[in-house]
Structure 1
Amino acid sequence: MSTDAMTWAMDRAPMPRTEKGKPDTTGRHVLQVLAEYANPDGTNAHPSVLRIQFRSGYDRTTVQRALRRLEKSGLIRRDGSVDGRTRWRLAMELVRPESDWTDLEREENDFRAAAAERKRRSRSRGVTGAESVTVTDSKGVTVTDAESVTGDVTDSAPSRHALNASPSRTERRPNHQQPSVNQLHKDSSSPTAQEDAPAPAAEPKPASKPRPAKPTADEHLEAFGAFWLNYPKKRAREEARKAWIAATGRGADPQHIVTAAASYAKERAGEDPKYTKYPATWLNKGCYDDEPDQPARPHLRAVGDYQPWRNPEDHSGYYEEL
């Protein structure tokens, strides 16, 4: 890699142009990749198209088109081939004109001036001057054109009072909410009248319902002891105690759980104990709310030596039986 070739490709080389006359940034990037593999005098640059793709990130078609534009503009020239790859020679004698930098500076200054002008206009639109001033000291007195106000004040009987006049668009409040006429009259009333007015009675707050007291740890253990005595399978007592506390915390009635455990013990009486649920499992799954199993109905069997007829199409034996 040559520092001279890289400096030329980045700063001193003329900016290539597209067919529409716009700056060819893609071609300039490919030119910088070629400069990385060139000698200090710009010769012997022969990276493959695949290598240019890897360094620039462009696809194969984009790289090939950029090389053709660079060759057409005279920035690179073919100088033989190496191992099937085209060898390029950079035209380092071409130098970028100084006007490019001055043009950029002029564009930057124009942009800043336009931005400052837009900001000035935006501020000027937000500030407006009031052409008239209304005096609200007495009824029926209105003064217009603040610049020509003198010591003479005329009484305008038919004019509207300042409190009844609707505010103009330039006199909006900061939150853009206009007060009503009643609010304006209320604000203009004397402070003595406002102080003498009785304060509105505060409405009584509804009494809050007392929350039910949470069961204590001793009450939990006492009810859990009754459950443990009634449950048919006593395994993993500590896990069962935690499941008990969780179930009662969800709102389950402890007496209901104890009664359901006793019913479950009756159902499992005489059954294989290995199919009986563990206490913690039974509580976590909410089995205390399950309906009890219905008792099995008795199986009816025929009495005597009677045998049902197996061939309904042959009735000969049926009549002999009768």
Structure 2
Amino acid sequence: MSNEAVDWAMDHAPMLRTEKGKPDTTARHVLQVLAEHASPTGANAHPSVLRIQYRTGYDRATIQRALRRLEKAQLIVKDGAREGRTRYKLAMELRRPTSDWSDLEREEDGLRAAAAERKRRSRSKTVTHAESVTVTHGESVTADVTHAESVRHALKVRPSRTERSPNHQQPSDNQLHKDSSSRPAGEDEPAEDLHLAAFGAFWINYPRKRNREEAKQAWIAAIRRGIDPQHMVDSAQRYARERAGEDAQFTKYPATWLNKGCYDDEPDPQPEPNGRPQLKAVSGGWRPFQNPENHDVYDEPLI
């Protein structure tokens, strides 16, 4: 078996096409079997049809038709006979165009974009929003979040802004703010946009930015449970201060932090200047040692 001939047949030989424009995988497979029996220059390939049948699983008529297609495309040329079998020479000088790879990449990108679009559409149909949350945008990095019993937003699920563009990437938080600020005066902002704006403030302040989409879904779920967005933003800022200078691998992912309700955790005790937490004396319990003012107690005899 020749590695050079097999490498050519698998990667570099031009890909034949069927009448419908699909890759001719049958002829490709037969060509690879011929390459396995060829010399490094592609000559002296003479496997029997029975051997090709055993190798590929195709019937005799299918193999003979594939050989004729390969001959017609001049990928193989008859070069006499040996032991009663037709001998072929592979046209290893022929190479497939480089555009074949770029075409496959474009096709793959299109499939991924379509899958992402279907996923976004599915999410937009299942996500609902809380009633009592309103958000006002400010110039600072954190969004001002206020609550009012008199302010209600319609619980109408509107298509995501990202569905209007074929680009599979999500828009930035700055773009969301810009788009929402250009809405005509007097028109209420959709509840989904309000949640996304408040989530942007949370994302900026959280110390470990991983799995943004999962974190966004956890954020919306917390809003649906009635959690105050400003409370979650403030807690994220406090958590960032606590994790400052610590090993990042022990910092929770944002989705985990939200799903476990860590925004309600008590803050860690602040250390004293010597690096130890302050311990308060408890009546009837342990007390830190205090040096007595009267040192004569050390001279009293032991009982």
Q: Same fold (TM over 0.5)?
A: no
Task: Output the TM-score relative to the length of structure 2.
Answer: 0.43
Task: Output the TM-score relative to the length of structure 1.
Answer: 0.41
Q: Which has the higher contact order (CA 8 A, sep 6+)?
A: 2
